[in-house]
Structure formats: structure tokens, C-alpha cells
Structure 1
């Protein structure tokens, strides 16, 4: 690779710049520096269906870092066969000055019945629903803002066909955000957009597995991941876990002693994990745990699919129902530093595909997420997207770009994340206080979650249930009885058995999953009180 030029261009706007000495030698910039350090942009990349490469939006210099390993030995026949959409390749010529396109089937924007799109959003630092109602900012996108030099993204562009990568305008912001938070430690990392993490997992499995495979995961895992994998012929192999998720020694033992005849599958080469605020258990792996897991993955050549929708829902430390509230992060740098290191940030091999999403921090219905992985894997992903999802909704991309790039910027988005960190901390504390107050501790126990939306309740005394049969080991029958009793009392929790990674394996534990994300505080407390009543009546205790 050629060395960087002695002089580079720093952006003043998206179309003009000033020359400064070698900015790529500088460290990854802070949140409020990113806009000022953007390189001068080629205006053609903002056009309709324009191809883009996230490498163009990175601000650090990665020349001294290793290249990712290649994963040809794991890429499926389907992924090898996909060569992308030939018609979309032609879109790369649309940016040529003066060209008259009689080729692509891109409808003229004059037939889009949308002249303006306006959204009302919070001002930075005034994030509550009431503040937004009273003093929110109205952002408006016009049909031809790009042609009229009012903005680099508009209705004519966003509402037309696009590339599987998503539009360059939002992809730039996503790449900068990923670099600022995770700063992947190898050269050829890239980002591309998805329509959410479940779709990302589906594509990853089709790219990297074949029917009959088994994939490692936490012993209790995201139910939709299991249901996504099974029709593709891929089964989960649950790894024993604790309050930090997967146990590295257990993972190593399973892989070291893998018996193809006994398991009915070749040795796994994939691991699916939700390492922060895990769904359903709420477990969060520490930095030390993630480094240990990564070493086991290196030892056995495991490719890691890191699904992290709850990563920014890391909360303040729990100090008890009567304990003092720790102060929030004092700065953006403190906030980022306080986050548990991601697998992506530890990945020197390019063996991690990270799935990110706006679903849990902005809105699930946006259906926009992104994937970060090595250039080889991202290219395969884009080729798949171009022939399936076609990329995320243009409506959503335009609305989110107006919010996170044009309005909030990186600093404002981090302010928002700090805000919801405190909001979820309050909700978490409410449910924990209610559990202390209302639940019979002779029957149920729990660990305070440090991230995410879920509270995992261990019915550890299930053998004390009047219908327990030691010979039949009827755990799920007892679970069904408790579940219906909770319903009768007017509350709803999810059954732990719905989250088995491998439903064919016998389990000797009984859990329920509660969430503190949906109901207001007073209803969270009342729901837990009803749960306590159900447990007492079902077990016949008066505690």
C-alpha cells in the first residue's frame, strides 16, 4: 500500500476544503472534532444509487495494522456464487458530468408524490418527551436539496433505488461512529448497512454456514436467532454460562472434545453471541471475559458474530435500593471509556462480524442497522443485499441522517445515549427495588443487570413445587404451571424454556424473563407484586 500523501484536505463543508499537513497521522478524533476533520467529498457519491465504500470515510491511519485473515474456507457455496447485481454496477457512471442515462430503471423523482419531509426531534440536551413537544426542532428535507446545494441528502436521492450498502450520506456517519467507539485494530475493516440485526444474522448464516452445521451460543439465547438458523439447517450448541455470559473454559472443552458422530455435525466454526445485556439473561461479559473468549476462538478458528443491540444500554452501577446514585459520565470521552470493550475493538484477525442497530436506542421501526467486518466479508454481504433486501428504507435513512448527522452530530448523539443510559438505570432500579420488596427469596433469586432491557429470574427452588416428580424431572411442566399462575394474577413474563439454544437438550434450571423497558415505573412495580403473589400461591408459601 502506498504511503499517505504528505498533504491532505480537511473539510470545511461537504464540497470545499482546506489543505493541512498529514491529518491521517492524528489519533481517532473526538466526537466534536469529526465534522471538521472530514476529507473533501466527491459530490458524485451523494447521488442516486451512487456506490460508496466506508473506507473513504475513516479518519485514522491503519497502514501499521495487520490485514484481516481471509475466510474462504468458511464462505458458503451460495456466497461464492453470488456476484452482485450487474445493473447496480452501472449506477457508478451516473456521477459522470453531463451523462444522459437511458439505461437504468430509476424512476424520475418528478413522479414521487413527496415535496417535503418534516420531523420534530429533540434539541441537544432537551431529550424528554415533554421538552421535545414544547421546544423540539423541526427538520425538513426537500425534494431537490442536493441539486440546489442546500444539503447533501434529499428526497429525490433517498426515495429512489439505492445500493445494498445504504446511502453514502448515512454510511459516512456510521463509519465515523464505529471508528470513534471501537477503532478496529486491523487495516481492512469496513461498514455496510443492514435492515436490522435479525436480517444481518440471516445473511451471515447464509454466507458462512451450510445445512447440518452447529453454531455455538449462550445456553439461553435470543429465540429469533434459533428460529432464524433452524430453517437453514443450522442448530445451536449451547455453552454453559454465568452472570457474564459464555464460560471460556466450557467453550474450550466443548470444542476440544467435539465428537462428530455423537453431535451429528462437524466441529463448529461459528459463534453467535449477545455479549452486552444479553437477551434473555441480561448477562454482560467483562473486558477480561471477552479477551478470554477471543483467545479460545483463535485457538479453534471460530468466527464470531457479535450481535450488540443493547451495547449502549449499559447502565450506572447498581448500589442497592437505598444506595447513592453514581454520577453520570462527565464527558463523551468518559462515556466511551466506561463502555465494556467490544469484540470488534479486540479483533486483530478480522474474525468478528459485529451487528449494530438503531432499534433499541432510537426506534425499532426504522429498520436500519449496520454490519462491521473485514472487507472480504462486507463485499459478500453487499452482494447478497443487492439481490435481496436492496438496502434499508430511503425514508428511514433520510430521517435518521437529518437527526444524527445534520442536527445532533456525533456529540449530540452521544448526549442522547447518555440520556437513555440514565433513563434505563432508573427503570432497572425500579424493578430491582420491587423484586426486593415483593418476591419470595426462598423461591427466586437474581443478579442485578448492568446493561440491556431484561431481568432474569431464577426459580431455583422449583423442586419444592408440590407437583415436582424426581423421576420424571418435569421442569417444563412446573414452568407451565407457574406461567399460567402469573397470567391469572394479571402479569406476563417470558418462559425461560422459550430461549433454549438447543431445545433437544435436557435442562435442569427454571427461569423467567422480565423486562423493564416497556411499562412505566408504577406498572413495573405492580407487575412484580403480582408475580410475587403468583409464586407464593403456586408454591404454597407465606413469606
Structure 2
């Protein structure tokens, strides 16, 4: 079947994007790689002066039979060295990125070897429905989001965001004068009916949204994941009201089976044979990218949560038309993701291969399932057993949340003036005094408003007295995690005057 080309959404580009002219020097940088050209056109240092001749690495060997966190030893180790240069292709069978090229200017879209691996990975994970898609390397999703704002938004423009969203993403938009208007969410993420109502009742004269920014899987901070049928409905709404969907997916491969409270039932489920690659792929949530027939979705992926945050390496997938201004922007800002990082990540992935990388992702699923179960078990054990405290077991990501009905606090009306925010802040400080950190939900709240404003009902919540705290099960050992949640429970028992 012949796939269609993407639509042209350049009418949504920002003034900055429309004003940016290509850097003339970047138009000729590719000639530096041409052996027939004596390149005198740019200030590129001679590679002989790069003080690194090779990079030697030990990394674990697929299929990681002892688990992805097992110590690396001679039995489960891949040893390899990436050199500054290679005489020819036969001297580079693993398709490594030569250090001399990776550490030089150029290749702002990313090194070709790494991009080819990512393209093949993309075809495995997503069912792409238009032909002119591509990928562009980034310095992680924070960089990708900052670039997205600059490519599309002017000061005063409006974007839609989940009612609680990643605070750094909100801050980036607000710093650029972009209005972040909240969309209602529940335990299954964005509510399509509420999104449709927001758009149907959009105030005449207010700027219409250009983008919907969403973290669909293991959402930060709520830990929610958007169900597949909701994604289909949301995509149709985006088509109807002509906004783009920015799919921020750092937690996509941290998907898990639902939490099972009964230990016998859980043990039974965990005794099932390990998933093979096909079963793993079928179990993954559908993506907005896979639904996209027009090039309306901009997907941001990152190695931060699946390899290491310090790699500062990720990629954007979208139509080639949309990626073009990203490349122009990156040529004048980040230049390119760090060369050492691209060399190291590519060398590892090329030796693992696509199947080995899936083995690694399967290992991550197993480890995060154990961490999630440990956290939720401890919450059920140590938190007050009351309808006022609701534990939300996630099916993806790194975060759990606990909802609290502030109105049941004995001093809610007197000491806290019936203000749930005041109680939330007090509880936060009390928990820290106990020696554990969980984060108040208000830190992630989107409160943007248009001019003229939107109808009050567009921001209505079912119970304004509900507050929540976000915690992570990713950062500490099971022992510390359990102790931390015990301290949280002790604080809540004491503060709400509940006897054990």
C-alpha cells in the first residue's frame, strides 16, 4: 500500500521560525566529508588535536539472563573499543561512529549510524501511516520541548496541557510567554469528552490552541496512562480543531501489567513464562504517532529513562516538513547532541541489535514492576485505611500518587481556612521533617488563562478539596522505599488524628 505524504502545517510556525534564515555555513558543511574537497571553508579544528584516540567500554550482554541490574562480569560482558578513525568499512564491522567525526562540527540532525538504528526501532514500535516521516536527534526531551515551543509559539499563543503536568515543561512555556491552558484528566489521563467541551466552548476572540502537550504513558506527575480508545478520540478532536499533538514519551517503555493486590494471584501471574519479543510489542500501548495520518503528531523520545539521564540524548519523530525548522534551530543552538554520547550509545545499541535492545526493555519492565509493587504494597500497609486516602497504582512510569480529601482534616476549617493548598503545604513540610520527600501536586498545576478568559466550567473540577502527593519508586532501594512510605503513613495518621 502506498502511504500518503504528510500535510503542510507551516502556517502554525512561529514568527521566529518564519524569520530564521538558514546558516550559509551549514549549507556546505557536508563537503568536509568529501575526500575530493580541500576544505578551507570553516573553522573546524584538525582531528589530530583531539586528545582521544579511542573509547573502550564494557557493557552487559543480551539477553541479560541475570537481569539488567546484575554486575557485569566475564560471562555477561561485551568489551569493545571505538577508534578515532577506520581505514575502511571492513575495519568497522560494528558500524561504529568514528571519534574523529563525532567530535567534529556537523551532523546537527545526529550521526547517521545512530539515526539509522532509531529509524529501524521506530518501524518496529510504531505503525506509521504516512511516508515522509523521519527522526532528528536531540539533547533529550527537555531540549526537544524547548525547541518545539520556539518552532511553533509566539508570546501570547495558547497550548493545551494536562491539568497537572511536568513542572519544567510548564515553566519553559510560561517563560516564553506561552499560555498553558489546562485540560481535565482522570485516572485514565485526558478525558476526550472534556477536551471536546473545552474546544466547543472556546471563547471567541481568544487565541486558539496551536498544540496539545501530553505525557500519555506513566504521566508525570499523576502516573496515569491514556487508554488507546481515548487517544483515537483525542486525535479526532485535534483534527477537528486543527492543533498539533506533542507526544512526550520518556516513560513509554516503563509499561507494566496492572497491580495485583492479592499476593497469591500476583505470584501466579508472575510465574507465567517470560514474554517473547512479539508478545512484548503487542502489549505496548498504541501511540499517537501510530494513529497519525497527517503528520499532526510530534513525538519526543529519550534514552534518559531507559539507559541513563546523563546521556542527554533523545530524538523527535515527525514529518520531514516539521523537522526541517527544528534542524535549522539546532544548527544555531545546540549544534548537535554530544559526540561522546552518540558514540557510546550507538556502539552499545549496534552490538545489542534491535532484538538485544528489546531484551533490555523487557528487563526494565520486570524491574519496574517489582519496584511499583513494592511501593503500592507499602502504601496499602502503612497509610490510613480510609476513603479520604486513595492510592493510585500506575501501569507505567516511575510515579505513584496518593489522593487526599483535605476536608476530612480535623482542622481544615479552623487552622487552614478551608483552603486545601494551605493543608497541602503543611503536610509537605511535616513529611520532610519525618525524613522523607514526596512532592505536592500543586507544584504541577497548570493555571494558564486566555484573554478574554475561557468559561469557568472549562476549569471545573469534581472535588476542589482533593489534593495529592507524588512519589517515585525509581530512585531508592526497596528497603528505603518501604521505610519512606512508612514515615509518610505515620505523618498522615498523626496529622489527621487517626488512631492505628
TM-score by length of 1: 0.85
- What is the CA distance between 1:154 and its match in structure 2? 1.3
Which stretch has the larger CA shift, 231-240 or 87-96?
87-96
Q: How many Å separate the matches in 1 of 2:431 and 2:215? A: 28
Corresponding residue for 1:200?
144
Say whether residues 1:449 and 2:394 are aligned partners. yes
Say whether residues 1:278 and 2:219 are aligned partners. yes
Please say if residues 16 and 151 of structure 2, whose CA atoms lie closer than 8 Å, have aligned partners that are also in contact. yes
Counterpart among 312, 319, 322 of residue 377 in structure 1: 322
Corresponding residue for 2:276?
331
Please say if residues 196 and 367 of structure 1, whose CA atoms lie closer than 8 Å, have aligned partners that are also in contact. yes
SS of equivalent to 1:186? coil
Corresponding residue for 1:365?
310
Corresponding residue for 2:162?
218
Q: How many Å separate the matches in 2 of 1:381 and 1:503? A: 26
Q: How many Å separate the matches in 1 of 2:115 and 2:342? A: 9
- What is the CA distance between 1:91 and its match in structure 2? 2.0
Please say if residues 31 and 39 of structure 2, whose CA atoms lie closer than 8 Å, have aligned partners that are also in contact. no
Counterpart among 21, 44, 47 of residue 106 in structure 1: 44
Q: How many Å separate the matches in 2 of 1:80 and 1:495? A: 40
Counterpart among 24, 27, 31 of residue 86 in structure 1: 24
Alpha carbons of 1:512 and 1:113: their partners in 2 closer, same or farther (altered >3 Å)? same
Q: Which runs of 5+ in 1 are unaligned?
A: 1-62
Please say if residues 163 and 386 of structure 1, whose CA atoms lie closer than 8 Å, have aligned partners that are also in contact. no
Please say if residues 255 and 268 of structure 1, whose CA atoms lie closer than 8 Å, have aligned partners that are also in contact. no
- What is the CA distance between 1:503 and its match in structure 2? 6.8
Please say if residues 468 and 478 of structure 1, whose CA atoms lie closer than 8 Å, have aligned partners that are also in contact. yes
Alpha carbons of 1:252 and 1:355: their partners in 2 closer, same or farther (altered >3 Å)? same
- What is the CA distance between 1:72 and its match in structure 2? 2.0
Which stretch has the larger CA shift, 118-127 or 305-314?
118-127
Q: How many Å separate the matches in 2 of 1:146 and 1:243? A: 56
Q: After the TM superposition, list the runs of 4 or more consecutive aligned residues in structure 1 that deviate by more than 6 angstroms.
A: 503-506
User: How many equivalent pairs are there?
Assistant: 476
Please say if residues 304 and 313 of structure 2, whose CA atoms lie closer than 8 Å, have aligned partners that are also in contact. yes
- What is the CA distance between 1:146 and its match in structure 2? 5.5
TM-score by length of 2: 0.92
Higher relative contact order (CA 8 A, sep 6+): 2
Q: How many Å separate the matches in 2 of 1:234 and 1:328? A: 49
Say whether residues 1:74 and 2:12 are aligned partners. yes
Question: Where do 1:518-533 residues align within 5 Å?
Answer: 518-533=475-490
C-alpha RMSD over aligned residues: 1.8
- What is the CA distance between 1:77 and its match in structure 2? 1.4
Please say if residues 124 and 412 of structure 1, whose CA atoms lie closer than 8 Å, have aligned partners that are also in contact. yes
**CA deviation digits over 1:375-394, x for unaligned, max 9?**
11101110111110111000
Corresponding residue for 1:145?
86
Please say if residues 60 and 72 of structure 2, whose CA atoms lie closer than 8 Å, have aligned partners that are also in contact. yes
- What is the CA distance between 1:133 and its match in structure 2? 4.1
Q: How many Å separate the matches in 2 of 1:231 and 1:503? A: 12
**CA deviation digits over 1:41-67, x for unaligned, max 9?**
xxxxxxxxxxxxxxxxxxxxxx71121
Q: How many Å separate the matches in 1 of 2:288 and 2:241? A: 16
Counterpart among 493, 497, 500 of residue 536 in structure 1: 493
Please say if residues 134 and 318 of structure 2, whose CA atoms lie closer than 8 Å, have aligned partners that are also in contact. yes
Corresponding residue for 1:257?
201
Alpha carbons of 1:210 and 1:503: their partners in 2 closer, same or farther (altered >3 Å)? closer
Question: Where do 1:94-133 residues align within 5 Å?
Answer: 94-126=32-64, 127-133=67-73
